[in-house]
Structures are given as C-alpha cells and as structure tokens.
Structure 1
Amino acid sequence: MGLDDIRYDHIIAATEEFRRLGRDAFLRTYGFGRARSYELVLDGSRYDSKAIAGVAHGYATGDFLKARDFSGGAATVARCLRELGFVVETGEPSPNRAALLARLRKLKVSRGPGSPAPSRHQPLSLLWAIARTADELPRLTSWPTFRDEVGPLLVEFGLRHARATPEYPFWYLQGSGLWEVRGIPSELAEKTPNARTFNELQPKAGFTAETADLLRDPVTRLQAIATICETYLESTERRTLFARIGLSGYTTAGDLLSSSGEEASGTTMEEYGRTTGPAPRREATRSVIVRDEALARKVKELEDNRCQICDTVLRYMNRPYSQAAHIRGLGNPHHGPDELQNLLCLCPNCHVLFDGLEIYVDSDGMVRGTGGGRDPRPLRRDPRHPMDEEHIAYHRTLCTLNARKREVG
C-alpha cells in the first residue's frame, strides 16, 4: 500500500495523537514497535516514523495501516515525510553493528618472530569475503575457491617474508565469532586441520548468517571495511588492494568515467597517436539506474543553480547550468537512495572532486580537501533543502578510507 495520499496535516494529526496517548499506548493501539532506524523530529520531540506514517494514512483515507502492511526505511517512509517538509533522522548504530565492528578490531591475529606487525591473513580474507557479500554471492565458499583466490592475495599484500597459508584464516577465523566452517567431522575439528585435510574433504567456510545479514547493509559494510583497513592494513596501498580484491567501487563515490587505456581496435595509429579511419563501434547491452529527473530539477531550483561548495554559477547556451550530485552513490556498492536529502547542487568541477573523494564535508559542515592543502569553506545550505547527515557521514568515511591509503603511498 502506498503513502501517496498522506499530506502535511495528516502527519500533524498523527503526532498530536501520539503526544496525547503517549508513545507506548500509541504504538500498542496501532500495532507498531519502536523505530529501529528513522525518527520524525518535530518541535524538539521525536516520533516513530513508520507508526506516524501508518496512522497518518488512516487520517487521509480511513485505512489505518499496521506495521505488516507496508515497509519502512529511507526509500518509503523517510522519503514520504521528507518530501512533505519534515525532518527525519537516523538513530544510533544498532548494537549488532557495534558488536560486529568491535569483533573486527579484536581479531586473534598472529605476529611473526621479530615482527611487531599483526599478520594480514585474516584481515585480507575478511575483505575478500566482504567483496563477495557486496556482489551478492553465496556467503559460504568452497575450500578450493578460497585457496585459489585468497592465496595470491596473501602473497601480494601479506607481510614481507610471511608464508602464504590460506588454510589458517580459512579455519582460525572461527575465533572471531563472525565465521563458520562446515564439512569437517567433529573428531578432526578437535585438532587443527591442515591443507591436505581440506583438499580431501572439500569443506566450505564464510560469514555466519547473522554477520552476512549485517554486511548486506551498505553503511555497515563500509564501516567494516574501514575498521579492517585502519586496524590492520594501514601501510597497504588501498587502491591496488581494492582493485585486486573486488572492492574498487569504494575508491569513488559515484560513476566517474575512467579511461580504459585500451587502443581502439580496427584503426591505424599515425604519428602523435592519431588514428586513421572512422572510430570503431561495438554493440553493448547495459543496465542503468533510472534517476528521478524531477528531484534533480528540484535541488537545482532550491539552490538557484549555484554550486553549494564553490558558489559558482555557470551559464551554458545563455542559461544557468549546474549538476545534481548524489552524496552517497546510487550504484553498487553504495546503493544510496534517489532522494532530495541525498543530493547536492554542484558545478562540474566540484562534482568531479566530490565523486573522486578529493573533497568532503566534515562534521562541522566545512568542505575540506582529502589530502589537505585546501582552505576549508562552509557547505552552503538552503533551509528548504534538507540533507541527511548519514549520507554525508558515509561519503566522509569513504574519503577517510582513501586518504589514508594515498598518504602511505
């Protein structure tokens, strides 16, 4: 059931009943639980957003929705409320997410003789498994696949002089509480199985079902990647690592075009790299994200086509020109929502820098350069243009993740 019939006055009526009955009685009366993520904030009070939307639907149509009748979240309830002009905020990270990140910080990693640095076998294995989760692959992987894909990563990105032994993280990651191994008989599991045993029995391993479910959330997944990198892989060149491990999507915030570096086939190269003959063509089928053009026009209208970062107003064909930039990218792996609260109005230059993680918005609303050397300036905010701080924090985490990598290199 949709929420399109709800209007501003219906939300106000629902919040008034909420205050009159009290939270517990209101939720009990209409069959809702407490909000786990999104809360409506009005006049200093906080309301469970999904419950308010369900009751407001009743005021609008006579059909009071219950929790099971519709889905909540950024793309439904939060978007509806924000489009009506209300402020919707996210609550604190769930205890499960906090516990996941705490476990990642406390991996039982070994240290080689004479080396204070922790082994990278478990962190690299976890990043590889997270990449599989982002690609929606099965959470449990066969030993041969793990061995053949993780083994080379341990050689390339492990500590110098460390042996590449994929059988160790395959088995010992169980100590993190985030990982499980299936297919090893109990009598063999009492002592550490070796690679020969794995080759014979062909077990499977991967994240536990609960962990995999948590990591399907893009925000949790990014925080997990950042935690692993800052705790165990500070000196690793991350752009190369992410490209090899299947996480290259985390090196940009959007859909920046990159040069393939490939020569055009079927053409002849002259001096100075010029080609003769027509440019070649090839057939291709693509799946593209359908963006809401009305939202893009809305953010440009609210900001008068003026860049919110550098304050520039460009003109093209005697008309003002600006671009609607998503704060948290819409595509894989970010899966940001196409909503006004996830949009900025930027000039092309600032759009490229923002998507390329060269600039970010700090917690005080100042735009800074990821690598330093840029004078901070405030992000201009029109009161009519709400922006979700969670999206801004997501982009900031991406910038921090990539800045540390580049500084080391």
Structure 2
Amino acid sequence: MNLVWETYFQSKLSSLIETSQHRKLMETEHAEQAWLVRNGKKLLNLASNNYLGLAGDEQLKEAAIEATKKYGTGGVASRLVVGNYPLHEEIEQRICAWKETEKALIVNSGYTANVGAISALVNRHDIVFSDKLNHASIVDGIVLSGAEHKRYRHNDLEHLEKLLKSAKIEKRKLIVTDTIFSMDGDKAHLEDLVMLKEKYGALLMVDEAHAGGIYGRNGAGLAHECPQLAKSIDIHMGTFSKAMGCYGAYITGSAVCIEYLINTMRSFIFTTALPPGTLGAIGKAIDIVRKDETDRYRLIENGRYFRTALQEAGFHIGDSTTHIVPVIVGSNEAALRFSMKLQEAGIAAIAIRPPTVPQHSSRIRFAVTAQHTNNDLQWATQRIVQIGKEEGVIS
C-alpha cells in the first residue's frame, strides 16, 4: 500500500483509539436465544434486535430450507433482470394485506431501503424535514439526494412546524421519522406528524424498523396502533431483520409511489435480489407475527419491568417507553468500562458512542426480548445495579 495512505489510515485509527471511539469485531458463536456464547462464555443477551426470538424458530428454518430446495441458494440477478421469484410477489401481497396498503416492495436491507427511497423521492429542489435522532440510513439518504436538509429537535413538533412554515411554498416537502428511536427507545408523535404533513402539503415517511412485528394491530407497526392514522401515512418502511428474525426490508404505500420507486430507486435497481431461502423465512415470519400475540405482549411487559427496575435504581434512561432501554453514562470511557464489567458479570450489552449517539451521551443500550424470563431480568438488574454503583453511575 502507498505509504501516504497507510500513514493516513493509521493516524485516523490512533485518533479513534485515543478518544475511545475505536471499535472491534467480536466473534459470537451463538446468539439466537436469550443467552449467547462469546469466546466460549455464556452471557445473557441484552444486546440483540431479535426481539421476538424468531431468529432461532424452527418454522422459519424449515421455510428457508424448502424455498432453497425449490429455487436455489442465490438471487442470481437483480429483480428487474431475472431475480424476481414468485415468492417476491406472494410475500409483497401479504405485506399489503398486513399493512393495509396498495403495493409493497421487498428490498435487501433497512439501510438500502432508506438510502434508496429517500434519494429517489427527493432531489436538490426539495426539502426534507428529519428528526434529529433519526437513524443514520435516513440521514445518508437525505445527503445522497442533494435535498435541503432541515433537522428538527427530537420530537419537537413546534420546531418542526416553525421550519415548515418558513420553507418556500413552491418546494416539495418530505417529513421522515423513525417510529421507535433505536438508541433511545422512545416513540415518535405520529398523530401530530400527520396533522403537520396535511397542513403543509408534505409527504410523510416512517421507519418502523424497531416497531414492526411488535406494536399495532397484528404487529403491523406503531402506526397501526390506530389504523386510520396508518392510512394517513404515505410511505411505510420496515425491516425483517429485527423482530421478524430474518433479513431484508420492505417499503409500502400507494401503487403509484411504489411503481415510481421500482423505476428510480438505485439501491433496488442495481442490487442482486435476496436469496430465496431468506424469502421463505420472511413469509413464515409474517404469518407467525400476525397470528401470535403472546410473544408481543411478553416483550412489552418485559420492557416495562426492566425500565422500571433500572429507573427506580437511579439510572438515567432518557424517555424510553419500549423494549429498548438506554443507560446514559456520558463519556466514551465510562460506557466502555461499564460494558466490559457487564461482560465480566455474564451480561452482553454494548457501549454505544458517537457518532451513533450525540457527543457526551454515550450509553449502554439494553434490548430485552420476549425470550427473557423474569428470573433472567431480575438476575441482570441486580448485577447492573451493582456495577452502576461501583462505577459511580448511580449512588
């Protein structure tokens, strides 16, 4: 490698190490259950997005095997070439029935869905209004689009309206938000967002990545807590890689909007289709989530118990009201020490640092699942409280 480039890379890595922002890949042998195995050690898994435990479900495994036997292991080409299997069409129809929308499109990940859709929907002549704590994929999509980017303070609808009011009338406007914020565990104010998008003639897109499969009628997402509200939202994006236990994502909305994205969304057009086995598992996951409410309710109750226990112990958990519970400690160094001590105590929970979260708000991001038992969570909270006191996070 050219010495100038190698020196540059090493300098940047050294800077990350000095500021406690350096990251390393850590091998995990098994992680689809409530307990995982890392470096031969059993740890309680409080770091996973496998919220309903479906990643290890035997029915999903069998569905993936059947689809692989029928269609092979690869997507073979983009969907617009020869990679569009009957499974795509079948599952997209199921998504429409589940989400009560006209048309759906399966894409390869939540990141490519947001980056591709936003950069196709708007351009340099338009304005995007985005919650300050939206996921990086939303931010990257806006940057790639070239549109004017207006960030409103987190869940501050007065600030959003002020920005909408001051925008040029002739410009097209897109409002985009997570429904559940992945690092904070709180919820967007969807009713107010719908009101503002109608008042100012904007398009509204929501990202249900951390709500899909859990909230709303049949687990369709937070927007579907009120079906009429869901119908007022123009574009719904969601993933199959979290509560659904699979991989991939979907975008759904009006027929004309989805047809437009099929023809303009570069991350869809120029990407090989998902493997058939993944599609088979997705189809089964949708069936399970729509019918089985037990795990959804258990997850919500586990989240409530865990939040309450940590808050009563004195931890700062922000405005979390969900299964995602941050413990905000402040500095990068404090978050790393906390995470390492948790691992030593038998708990897998990861330190989240900038740029994933704002400066001086480094945290441990805990995520409970439906698989955790009351004993698991009691055992964990006792150790978390003990470490919190040792580290001076709580008194």
Q: Same fold (TM over 0.5)?
A: no
Shorter-chain TM-score range: under 0.3
Determine which structure has more spread, i.e. the larger CA radius of gyration.
1
Structure with more contact order per residue of length (Cα contacts < 8 Å, sep ≥ 6)? 2
TM-score normalised per structure 1: 0.23
